[in-house]
Amino acid sequence: MAKPRISSIDGKLAEEFAVPSHVEEVKEKMAAFARNHAAAGRRVVLITSGGTKVPLESRTVRFLDNFSSGRRGASSAEYFVDSGYAVIFLHRHRSLYPYTRMFSNVNMLEALKFSGGDGASNSSGDVVVDQQVLPNIAKALKRYQEMKEGKLLLPIEFSTLSEYLHLLKAAAQALSTIGSKAMFYLAAAVSDFYIPASEMPEHKIQSSNGPLQLSMNMVPKILSPLVKDWAPQAFVISFKLETDATILLEKARRALDTYRHQAVVANVLDSRRGYVVVVTPETQAELIITDEDVKNEVEIEERIVSNLTAAHKKFITQQGG
Ligand code: PAZ
């Protein structure tokens, strides 16, 4: 039997990024989830969502983080479920979560009241929801219950960059068993820089030592072994965020040339809720949300998911799946 290829990134991951203790258990869970849903004829998407925490000390007091709210990943998860997919949701702890995301800013105690109409004076009665405070709660609850009934969402949490990298590798290996039926939708905003464990101070950095100068290493480009070694038959989508719109498409094309995956969703920080470009080696599709769409509560993730599920279907057919 041919030996599995060990990329140098595998070595780096093992040496420089602490392995989460539950990684094997989570990998088995993901593999079983993918196997069962694929056997039932479903496609499976692994969504990554949210930012990563990069510790500056091993007994971490301080860390670097980024802007990502996790909204892209959370809302996409809902649209994938609506499109018949089973979803592994690899998300940053406390970032936005499918179905509850719309209510994340709501004070629950403002949204609930005692039935019977006279508020607190009838506090032994049943509690009911004030739908003015939680508009769309009935619709969200219905979608959530359907998802739960079908066991269509497997949530997996990470916080640090190390956890993210090891769990993504485990997910890729777990999903490799279902070949082209697997999609990777890598929407998380992952740090490009880190401090290796061997160079990290153990204790809190002391301000009495004066101004802090940091030297950080480049995070290994995990897309490379994911596409080449870990899940070579899967349909892989990466995301590219820039603040300078003039370099965005060129960088998206360069990523496709380098990693040879299927598509890049390109977006600019300030306009990401209303405009993205889905770039493939042959095509470039602009997806736009108009004012009318906003009025009708249409979200750009619905369009992204619709574009990519159609492309995935075609891909599976081309691969003979
Ligand atoms: O999480 P969010 O909804 O606030 O933002 C989504 C996003 C901008 C993180 C995502 O669309 C994206 O581009 N992720 C990749 C970022 C990168 O280039 O690393």
Q: How far is the CA of 239 from the centre of ligand 1 (A)?
A: 7
Ligand 1 atom at shortest distance from the alpha carbon of 67: 4
248's tokens: 């965005």
**Confidence (pLDDT) at 321:** 77
Q: How sure is the predictor about 120, in pLDDT bands with cuts at 50, 70 and 90?
A: low
Q: Which three-class secondary structure state does DSSP give residue 8?
A: helix
**Confidence (pLDDT) at 7:** 67
Q: How far is the CA of 238 from the centre of ligand 1 (A)?
A: 10
Per-residue pLDDT tens for 62-109? Answer: 999 999 999 999 999 999 999 999 999 999 999 999 999 999 999 999
Q: Who contacts 179 (Cβ-Cβ below 8 Å, separation ≥6)?
A: 233, 234, 319, 321
| C-alpha span between 174 and 154 (Å, rounded) | 13
CB burial of residue 208 (10 Å; 0-12, 13-18, 19+): exposed
Per-residue pLDDT tens for 86-95? Answer: 999 999 999 9
Q: Are the C-beta atoms of residues 78 and 143 closer than 8 Å to each other?
A: yes
Per-residue pLDDT tens for 195-225? Answer: 998 899 999 999 999 999 999 999 999 999 9
> Kindly report the CA angle at 310 between 102 and 154, in degrees rounded to 5?
45
pLDDT at 267 over 70: yes
| C-alpha span between 81 and 45 (Å, rounded) | 9
Mutation pick for ligand 1 pocket among 68, 236, 289 (CB with most ligand atoms within 8 Å): 68
Q: How sure is the predictor about 115, in pLDDT bands with cuts at 50, 70 and 90?
A: confident
Q: How far is the CA of 314 from the centre of ligand 1 (A)?
A: 26
pLDDT at 2 over 60: no
| C-alpha span between 201 and 21 (Å, rounded) | 22
Per-residue pLDDT tens for 290-312? Answer: 999 999 999 999 999 999 999 99
Owner of token pair 């068993």: 177
Q: Are the C-beta atoms of residues 73 and 50 closer than 8 Å to each other?
A: yes
**Confidence (pLDDT) at 121:** 56
256, β-bridge pairs? none
Q: Amino acid identity of 167? A: L
Residues with CB under 6 A from ligand 1: 68-72, 187, 189-190, 239-241, 267, 272
Q: How far is the CA of 76 from the centre of ligand 1 (A)?
A: 12
Mutation pick for ligand 1 pocket among 67, 191, 192, 239 (CB with most ligand atoms within 8 Å): 239
Per-residue pLDDT tens for 147-179? Answer: 999 999 999 999 999 999 999 999 999 999 999
pLDDT at 280 over 70: yes
For the segment 12-26, the average pLDDT, to the nearest whole number, is 94
Q: Which CATH architecture does the domain made up of 8-103+125-206+214-240 adopt? A: 3-Layer(aba) Sandwich (3.40)
Q: How far is the CA of 241 from the centre of ligand 1 (A)?
A: 6
Which of left, alpha, beta for 31 (phi over 0: left; psi -120 to 50: alpha)? alpha
- H helix runs in the chain, sequence order: 8-16, 23-39, 71-82, 108-111, 137-149, 161-175, 223-225, 245-259, 291-295, 300-318
pLDDT at 6 over 60: no
**Confidence (pLDDT) at 1:** 47
